[in-house]
Amino acid sequence: MNNIDEIISKVTETEQKLTADDAAKLFECSDESDIQLIKAAADKLRSNIAGDKVSYIINLNVNFTNICESVCLFCGFRRSESAHDATIINLEEFEECLHNSVKQGISEICLQGGLYSKLKIPGLKSSNLLDMYAELLEWIKSRHSHIHLHAYSPEEIDFLSIMSGKSISYILDYFKDKGLGSMPGTAAEIFDREIRSIICPKKLSTEKWKQVITTAHKRGIPSTATIMYGHIESSLHRAKHLEVLRNIQEETGAITEFIPLPFVANKTHLSGKIKPLESVDRLKMLAIARLFFRDLIPNIQASWVKQGVEETAESLDWGVNDIGGTLGDERITFEAGGNFGRNMTEEELVDIINSKNRTPVLRDTLYNYIKQPVLK
């Protein structure tokens, strides 16, 4: 029995937790037979946890500004204040977009933006940044109270804490009162001080990210969890990142899903400086995440916007039980050079799931199943 056999046996036979070293070895393996072992084990575990159901959500991504005072090497979305294509949300246009999205059945808005200390959103009354963020939540809720607001990353919460002088707990309580339902677990990137000092030196630390997320969880605000991989990190960096997330989930139990985000370099400062990921690398990440988290984080999501339709369908055999949402107006991956589109229809998501003879299930943000769709 080789090392990979032994590691897989820990999951499939003895139900032991994988260590970070175990996961690193899985990331590094390149033998085709070993990779097939990883795939098969993840698929079996997925079946035991989720059955044949694959979920999706009808949602809308809203980036309220692309102006950002931070500079991250991996970001193609950021614009300076003076850039000709710098944008701030137009509420009149947004209201029309919301109206159309509601007719299409959206249940969630994912709301994030750049870090801009002088942000002023025309149409909102608030004179300071913190109140403006809260008012934007309230503005949406006052028009469509049923929509779940999945908003503001740990990076944005930390930024607002610094700018306002208010504590993280105060801000989270304030936003929850104004309609915040859950948080995107973005800005995680790679939980390693040295890597972060290179790719995102101004971004919040791993310790601060953990503080914001666990504080949110303890205040009844669940979150997703992410990793951005495929740039300058090592296999062990990836594995230790998973370990941080597992430790948080063991403490709070409030991570709803894990979404590995393969790095798209095309229009970023790292373009041409790193070896692009291959499809098997992305699929293996999904499978290893399933084996590492087991049912502790029961929902593993593929990112169609970063992986495309064919690979997303293939991922359903690698431990994945969710394929994300319709998105409506995805911009961050698009601006980085992603070429798989900015939105999908419900029908297109269902087609992906049906192509693997799985059962599509519409869900809400917190993974309550709403219905099995009947589409023409």
- CA-nearest of 63, 1, 57 to 333 is 63
Q: What is the pLDDT of residue 276?
A: 81
pLDDT at 116 over 50: yes
pLDDT tens-digit map of 60-99: 999 999 999 887 777 777 888 889 989 999 999 999 888 8
- How far apart, in whole angstroms, are the C-alpha atoms of residue 133 and residue 175? 8
pLDDT tens-digit map of 6-15: 999 998 888 8
- How far apart, in whole angstroms, are the C-alpha atoms of residue 362 and residue 346? 9
Would strands 322-325 and 359-363 be described as parallel, antiparallel, or unpaired?
Answer: unpaired
What is the pLDDT confidence band of residue 273, given thresholds at 50, 70 and 90?
low
Q: What is the pLDDT of residue 341?
A: 52
Per-residue DSSP letter, 77 = S
In the chain, which ranges are continuous DSSP H helix? 3-12, 20-28, 32-50, 91-103, 129-143, 154-164, 168-178, 193-199, 206-218, 235-252, 279-293, 304-315, 332-335, 346-354
pLDDT tens-digit map of 214-265: 999 999 999 999 999 999 999 999 999 999 999 999 999 999 999 999 987 5
Query: Across all residues in the chain, what is the average pLDDT?
Result: 91
Q: Which domains does the chain have, with CATH numbers?
A: 22-370 (3.20.20.70)
What is the pLDDT confidence band of residue 275, given thresholds at 50, 70 and 90?
confident
Q: What is the pLDDT of residue 293?
A: 98
Can you tell me the mean pLDDT for 284-306?
Answer: 96
Higher pLDDT, 35 or 272: 35
What is the pLDDT confidence band of residue 328, given thresholds at 50, 70 and 90?
low
pLDDT tens-digit map of 349-374: 999 999 999 999 999 999 999 877 65
Q: Which residue has the tokens 């799985």?
A: 358
- How far apart, in whole angstroms, are the C-alpha atoms of residue 230 and residue 143? 40
Residues 6+ away with beta carbon under 8 Å from 236: 20, 21, 24
Token digits of residue 51: 């059955």
Residues 6+ away with beta carbon under 8 Å from 268: 73, 74, 75, 76, 336, 337
Check if the beta carbon of residue 292 is closer than 8 Å to that of residue 311: no
pLDDT at 283 over 50: yes
- How far apart, in whole angstroms, are the C-alpha atoms of residue 374 and residue 90? 35
- How far apart, in whole angstroms, are the C-alpha atoms of residue 350 and residue 360? 6
CA dihedral for 283, 23, 185, 206, sign (positive or negative): negative
